[in-house]
Structure 1
Amino acid sequence: MSKKYENIMVAVDGSHEAELAFEKGVNVALRNGSKLTLAHVVDTRALQSVSTFDAEVYEGFQTEANELLEDYIKRAKDAGLHNVATVIEMGNPKVLLAHDIPEQEGVDLIMVGATGLNAFERLLVGSSSEYILRHAKVDLLVVRDKDKTF
């Protein structure tokens, strides 16, 4: 049985793993004639320990996210995709990528890059892709770097 995906969300953060997920996401969206939603989440959990910071910190994150997504949009359109959307959120990436963004955007496939965390690191901080796997209500594709061993 084959399924045609209508709206594919790729989580991007500028990492090598996200780059691989983006490239595969573009190809899957082209094959399916799908919308590609690029999601970038600024992890603000680390900022909670900072007692005083001003709006400039958030503006800096927003600017960086916009620049990152503009590059991805250009590359997706150069590859032949015309229906590309972006989402920038601030908060907990795991929850936003597993629940909030897919629901708000009507996503039916989530694509993420596999992290390079070892077993001990996953135990301490947890892997976003692992969390999404357990909690998402839609299909998930974890893109791996075939040259890396985890």
Structure 2
Amino acid sequence: MAKYQKIAVAIDFSEQSKKALERGVILAKDYDAALQLIHVVDTVSFGSIAAYDLNYAGKLKTQSLSELETLKLEAKAQGVNSVEVTVEEGSAKAILTQLPDVDLIICGATGYNAMEKMVIGSVAEQVARTAKCDVLIVRL
């Protein structure tokens, strides 16, 4: 069985990603691994909004970072020694599959996208197919 040293948890603030975080905290403690909480501001899907408000992505990034910091404190309070937070802009599928130095990626089966809730989420599916490390997909 693999010895995970760095575990990334994809956070979109949905119930599925909160469940993924719970699993990530457990595994990080079990393996004494570093935990990376990552949120991707999907700038690909709101190109037309950015034309009206050039600061939109920046506002989302700031808000997401604040929420991740809260989750970081909760993970540390539960006994995870090393927790870092990351907020990126772009395509979640591309960013999550290219995370450096990560041994395990944990994500929820579906996110906020209503269409994705019918089957396994397109982000989770892409991560499972193309990540260079182990992937754990968590269901509610």
TM-score (norm 2): 0.89
Q: 1:42·1:91 contact (CA, 8 Å) conserved in 2?
A: yes
Q: 2:32·2:81 contact (CA, 8 Å) conserved in 1?
A: no
1:114 aligns with 2:109: yes
SS in 1 for 2:17: helix
Q: Distance in 1 between matches of 2:18 and 2:49?
A: 30
Provide, for residues 67-125 of structure 1, a one-character-per-residue CA deviation record: whole Å limited to 9, x for no partner: 210111011011011201111100000110112xx22xx10100001115214xx7xxx
TM-score (norm 1): 0.84
Superposition misfits of 4+ residues, deviation over 4 angstroms: none
Q: Distance in 1 between matches of 2:108 and 2:49?
A: 29
Percent identity, aligned pairs only, is: 36
Deviation at 1:53? 3.3
Q: Distance in 1 between matches of 2:13 and 2:66?
A: 11
SS in 2 for 1:45: coil
| Structure index of larger Rg | 1
SS in 1 for 2:86: strand
- Which residue number in structure 2 is paired with residue 49 of structure 1? 48
C-alpha RMSD of the superposition: 1.6
Q: 1:98·1:135 contact (CA, 8 Å) conserved in 2?
A: yes
- Which residue number in structure 2 is paired with residue 140 of structure 1? 135
Q: Distance in 2 between matches of 1:14 and 1:68?
A: 9
**Cα distance change on mapping 1:77 and 1:57 into 2, 3 Å:** same
- Which residue number in structure 2 is paired with residue 148 of structure 1? none
**Cα distance change on mapping 1:50 and 1:85 into 2, 3 Å:** same
Paired residues, what number?
A: 135
Q: Distance in 2 between matches of 1:114 and 1:65?
A: 20
**Cα distance change on mapping 1:51 and 1:95 into 2, 3 Å:** closer
1:128 aligns with 2:123: yes
Q: 1:43·1:91 contact (CA, 8 Å) conserved in 2?
A: yes
Q: Distance in 2 between matches of 1:86 and 1:26?
A: 14
Gaps of 5+ in 1: 146-150
Gaps of 5+ in 2: 111-115
Q: 1:117·1:127 contact (CA, 8 Å) conserved in 2?
A: no
SS in 1 for 2:38: strand
Deviation at 1:51? 6.3
